[in-house]
């Protein structure tokens, strides 16, 4: 479940205004919200890597709700989606034609129609590995063991699009489905201006945080950290940073 942006904004304002410390306008807030969401999203990967070491050493707490690695991986679910990639016939590559921005490619399933139809897990390699693997007659890709590499190219199918991520798969499948991680959509606190010039929350023009609901506190403290900088209040920055530090220490130790 996503984090409601109005809840975050009102909480931030409440904390800031508690002692008449200052005010953050919706425009400033929206910029901070986007920045914080991006920061938290990007922190999942190094954190996940760190927490996976417990798995590798067989030290992970695997009781139902306390597997920290799984909890961390779970937070990515709002950004994870199976996406169909489209074949660009002239270049024989596949590309994503949706509205979102692909952040990372996960499992690639290549489908080869025929008798039988194969839905094969595709190994994503570097270009140099691709060249090496295809040259060995024992490992050369087949419809059961296809391999792929990514590159940046212009799609020449009409309409011609700017250069983008494309994926080369060998042998060429009939269709491709990739478990993608998409970049978060920027949150927006939408508003209308009331008769007294006040900002009134407008849910129809707003976009909530895509982060999981468990990140609400984290979002608020991070935004407060930046608000403290904006309103030049070191006390807010320090207390927000202390709070963030404590959460991090708890999670990773």
Partner 1 sequence: MPIPNGGLITETNEQYYAGAQGFRALTAAAGQSFATTFNTDLIFGSFNPALLNYALNNFKLYTSADGVTYAEYTAAYTVVNNTVTITGAIALGTYIVVQLKALDGGSYGARNATGETVEENYGGYSYITIGDIIDNFMVGYVGDGKLIQTCKKSDVVFHVKRGMQEFSYDTLKSIKSQELNIPPSLAVILPQDYVNYVRISSIDQLGVKRIIYPANNLTISPYEMPLQDNAGQPTQDNFGDNLEGTSITEERWANANDRFITGTFNNANFEAFFDFMQDGYGYGLDAYGRRYGLDPALSQINGWFNMNEREGKVAFSSNLANRLIVLEYISDGLAYDLDSRVPKMAEDAMYSHLLYSILSTRAGTPEGIVQRFKRDRSAKLRNAKIRLSNIKLDEIVQVMRGKSKWIK
The residue ranges that bind partner 1 (CB under 8 A) are 52, 55-58, 60, 113-117, 121, 123, 125, 129, 133, 136, 138-139, 142, 144-145, 147
Residue partners of 191: CB distance under 8 A and separation at least 6: 26, 199, 200, 201, 202, 205
**Minimum gap (Å) between residue 11 Cβ and partner 1:** 38
**Minimum gap (Å) between residue 50 Cβ and partner 1:** 13
**Minimum gap (Å) between residue 203 Cβ and partner 1:** 42
C-beta of 61 vs 117, nearer to partner 1: 117
Long-range CB contacts (within 8 A, 24+) of 44-52: 44/72, 44/75, 44/76, 47/72, 47/251, 47/252, 48/72, 48/73, 50/252, 51/252
C-beta of 84 vs 121, nearer to partner 1: 121
**Minimum gap (Å) between residue 134 Cβ and partner 1:** 10
CA distances in angstroms from 3 to 9, 29, 229, listed in the order given: 11, 15, 24
Look at residue 185 and give its three-state secondary structure.
coil
- 165 exposed, middle or buried (CB, 10 Å; 0-12, 13-18, 19+)? middle
C-beta of 52 vs 91, nearer to partner 1: 52
C-beta of 58 vs 253, nearer to partner 1: 58
Look at residue 9 and give its three-state secondary structure.
helix
**Minimum gap (Å) between residue 19 Cβ and partner 1:** 48
**Omega cis (within 30) before 166:** no
In whole angstroms, what is the distance from residue 161 CA to residue 184 CA?
22
In whole angstroms, what is the distance from residue 242 CA to residue 146 CA?
49
C-beta of 178 vs 219, nearer to partner 1: 178
Classify residue 117 by its DSSP letter: -
**Minimum gap (Å) between residue 179 Cβ and partner 1:** 16
C-beta of 123 vs 175, nearer to partner 1: 123
């Amino acid at each position: 479940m996503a984090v409601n942006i109005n809840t975050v904004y009102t909480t931030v304002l409440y904390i800031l205004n508690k002692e008449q410390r200052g005010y953050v306008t919706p425009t400033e807030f929206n910029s901070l919200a986007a920045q914080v969401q991006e920061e938290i999203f990007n922190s999942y990967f190094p954190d996940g890597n760190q927490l996976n070491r417990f798995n590798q050493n067989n030290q992970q707490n695997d009781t139902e709700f306390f597997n920290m690695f799984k909890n961390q991986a779970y937070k990515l679910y709002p950004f994870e989606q199976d996406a169909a990639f489209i074949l660009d016939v002239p270049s024989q590559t596949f590309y994503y034609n949706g509205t979102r921005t692909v952040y990372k490619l996960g499992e690639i399933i290549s489908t080869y129609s025929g008798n039988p139809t194969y839905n094969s897990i595709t190994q994503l390699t570097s270009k140099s590995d691709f060249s090496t693997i295809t040259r060995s007659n024992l490992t050369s890709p087949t419809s059961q063991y296809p391999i792929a590499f990514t590159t940046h190219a212009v799609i020449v199918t009409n309409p011609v699009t700017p250069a983008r991520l494309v994926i080369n798969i060998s042998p060429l499948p009939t269709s491709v489905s990739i478990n993608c991680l998409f970049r978060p959509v920027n949150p927006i606190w939408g508003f209308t201006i009331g008769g007294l010039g006040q900002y009134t929350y407008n849910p129809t023009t707003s976009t909530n945080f895509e982060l999981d609901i468990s990140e609400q506190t984290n979002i608020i403290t991070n935004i407060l950290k930046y608000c403290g900088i904006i309103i030049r209040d070191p006390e807010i920055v320090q207390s927000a940073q202390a709070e963030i530090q404590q959460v991090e220490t708890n999670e990773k130790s």
